[in-house]
Amino acid sequence: MKLLRHGAPGAEKPGMLDASGRVRDLSHMVDDIGGAALLPEALEKLRDIDVDTLPLVDGIPQDDLRLGACVAGIGKFICIGLNYADHAEEAGMPIPPEPVIFNKWTSSVVGPNDPIQIPKESEKTDWEVELGVVIGKPGVYIDEADAMRHVAGFCVINDVSEREFQIERAGTWDKGKGCDTFGPTGPWLVTPDELADIDNLEMWLDVDGERQQSGSTATMIYKVPHLIAYCSRFMSLQSGDVISTGTPPGVGMGQSPQRYLKGGETVSLGIAGLGRQSASVLPRNC
């Protein structure tokens, strides 16, 4: 299944993508795509629905029909740093002996095509295409062998990052990761049965049509089951939590000379089988 949320900001409704790429409304089935609706038993009920019997929503998704973030009410937005071998090499940093964990504030979450706002004082706003893992079944101290049973689905995330705030401002990475609009999520939540191999998904990101990132989840250092088990050692994972699993090379910080967003650009990105995003970048207002 490809689950989504459609409509105006703050008034999104739950939906499902049909085989023709049109949106079908799920409002009479679930309140939203989040929380208890992501539990295994709830997803099984949705899977039993004949999608063609659901009401058709007017408009073309990501064209004249806005999509919100594909998960409602994200509880924790957990991120993993330096989790691609080729990105760690690009950054000139050693492969971490354990996963690096940081957070994006949930106030950063926006839809897949909503504008990205460069924050005040920013000089180094960057991009990162990432595979997002959405937790369905809650758990703590999860065994790696059982980890995939806790996954509701996967999605595309742009881990927008302000590098000066992140690295140069006397604090943790979180400072540069959670600014408003820095968490485009979606377009859809894709359930695991739709993906043949999450360890070999093509990933890409363009700025104004110029390819910046081109990679694959094949170079991920710590794979999804390990990340779920590892994170659950430090916190309980709950339905609707999101883990963003790291980025391949090609970020602006890793280029020579470094390249950052200034405003006026269009950032497009995607992951095979999970859809694509395209967002305009708004210049800082001060």
Question: Under a CB-based contact definition with an 8 Å cutoff, are residues 152 and 189 in contact?
Answer: yes
How far CA 237 is from CA of 134, 157, 278, in Å, comes to: 10, 19, 30
Residue 286 has pLDDT above 80, yes or no: no
Residue 95 confidence (pLDDT): 87
pTM of the model: 0.96
- Alpha carbon distance 56, 17 (integer Å): 10
Reported in sequence order, the residue ranges of 87-169 that DSSP labels E, i.e. its strands, are 100-103, 109-110, 116-117, 125-126, 129-135, 151-158, 161-162
Confidence label for 69 from pLDDT (cuts 50, 70 and 90): very high
Q: Please name the CATH architecture into which domain 71-282 falls.
A: Alpha-Beta Complex (3.90)
Residue 16 has pLDDT above 80, yes or no: yes
pLDDT per position as a tens digit, 222-243: 999 999 999 999 999 999 999 9
